[in-house]
């Protein structure tokens, strides 16, 4: 993720939150916009809550981006279940973002301050951060991690409630990223 500083789950979700300017702005062709599936969006959502880790073997089994994944492999019934889980996960993400920002603010930091401290801690200048701010930051990180854990569990439960394994769900997501026809079918189901 080009705008993210760390790859851990809580940090990646904060990346998507866009708190502050710069440090956590996601610049990839991802992000969910008005319920429409955009390439890469759900992976950011799921990685953000730590529910999905794409294994190299799973990626190797999928068609290359220049090939179209066969739409006929995904039935209408599977697409309906996929969209149902996706929408639940989107709601979990929105709720989680609010909870994480509240946790940061409860520790006396704004989102922008949290981002600035996180960025500074990754540089040699990190030693110059006042100890009180480091304590506030670490307390916020602890709370955000707990929120992340709950969100991850909820996302996994949503996927499993629609009778998918994480791998199956992930595979449909990756196929949609590579196949404009499949992506359009999903987008149509996401429209109100």
Q: What is the pLDDT of residues 13-40, one digit of tens each?
A: 333 333 333 333 322 233 233 333 433 3
159 falls within a domain? yes
1 falls within a domain? no
Helical residues (DSSP H) of 62-122, grouped into ranges = 76-106, 111-121
71 falls within a domain? no
187 falls within a domain? no
Give me the domain span that covers residue 174: 9-52+78-180
Residues of the chain falling short of pLDDT 70: 1-72
The domain total for the chain is: 1
Q: Which two tokens stand for residue 180?
A: 């404009």
pTM for this entry: 0.64
| Rounded distance between C-alpha atoms, residue 123 and residue 134, angstroms | 14
Q: Which two tokens stand for residue 120?
A: 């500074």
62 falls within a domain? no
């Amino acid at each position: 993720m080009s705008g993210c500083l760390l790859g851990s789950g809580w940090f990646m979700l904060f990346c998507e939150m866009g708190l502050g300017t710069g440090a956590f702005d996601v610049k990839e062709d991802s992000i969910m916009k008005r319920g429409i599936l955009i390439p890469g969006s759900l992976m950011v959502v799921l990685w953000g809550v730590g529910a999905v880790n794409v294994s190299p073997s799973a990626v190797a089994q999928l068609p290359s981006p220049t090939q179209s994944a066969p739409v006929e492999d995904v039935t209408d019934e599977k697409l309906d279940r996929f969209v149902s889980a996706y929408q639940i996960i989107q709601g979990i993400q929105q709720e989680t973002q609010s909870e994480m920002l509240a946790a940061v603010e409860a520790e006396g930091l704004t989102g922008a301050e949290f981002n600035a401290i996180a960025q500074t801690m990754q540089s040699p200048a990190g030693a110059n951060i006042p100890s009180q701010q480091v304590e506030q930051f670490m307390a916020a990180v602890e709370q955000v991690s707990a929120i992340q854990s709950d969100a991850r569990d909820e996302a996994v439960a949503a996927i499993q409630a629609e009778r998918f394994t994480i791998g199956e769900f992930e595979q449909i997501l990756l196929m949609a990223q590579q196949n404009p026809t499949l992506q359009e079918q999903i987008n149509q189901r996401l429209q109100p």
